[in-house]
Amino acid sequence: MKKDDKEIKKAVRERYAGLAREKTGSCCPSGSAQSSSCCSPGLTPGKALSAAEALYTEEELETLPEEMRDASWGCGNPTAIAGLKKGEVVLDLGSGGGLDCFLAAQKVGAGGRVIGLDMTSEMVSLARQNARQMGMSNVEFRLGEMEHMPVENNSIDVIISNCVINLSPDKDTVFREAFRVLKPGGRLCISDIVLLQDLPAEIKESLDQWAGCVAGALEKSLYLHKLGAAGFVHITTEEKNVPLSMERCQDIAGPQTYLDLSGKIASVIVKASKPT
May I ask the CATH architecture of the domain 5-273?
3-Layer(aba) Sandwich (3.40)
pLDDT at 247 over 90: no
Q: Which residues pair with 248 in a beta bridge?
A: none
DSSP state of 6: H
> At a CB cut-off of 8 Å and minimum separation 6, what does 225 contact?
none
The CA–CA distances, whole Å, from 58 to 61, 80, 115 equal: 5, 13, 24
Picking from 62-66, 111-115, 169-173, which range would have the lowest pLDDT averaged per residue? Answer: 62-66
pTM: 0.83
Q: How many Å apart are CA 195 and CA 207, to the nearest integer?
A: 17
Q: What pLDDT digit, counting tens, does each position of 3-52 carry?
A: 688 888 888 898 888 888 886 443 333 333 333 333 444 433 334 445 67
Express each pLDDT in 71-100 by its tens digit: 667 777 888 889 999 999 999 999 999 999
Domain assignments of the chain as residue spans, ordered by start: 5-273
Average pLDDT, the chain: 81
Report which listed range, 170-184, 205-219, 253-267, is most confident: 170-184
Give percent above pLDDT 90 in the chain.
49
Q: What is the residue-wise DSSP string for 82-110? A: S---TT-EEEEET-TTSHHHHHHHHHH-T
pLDDT of residue 33: 34
pLDDT of residue 51: 62
Q: 183 in helix, strand or coil?
A: strand
To 10 degrees, the CA torsion angle through 202, 207, 209, 213? 140
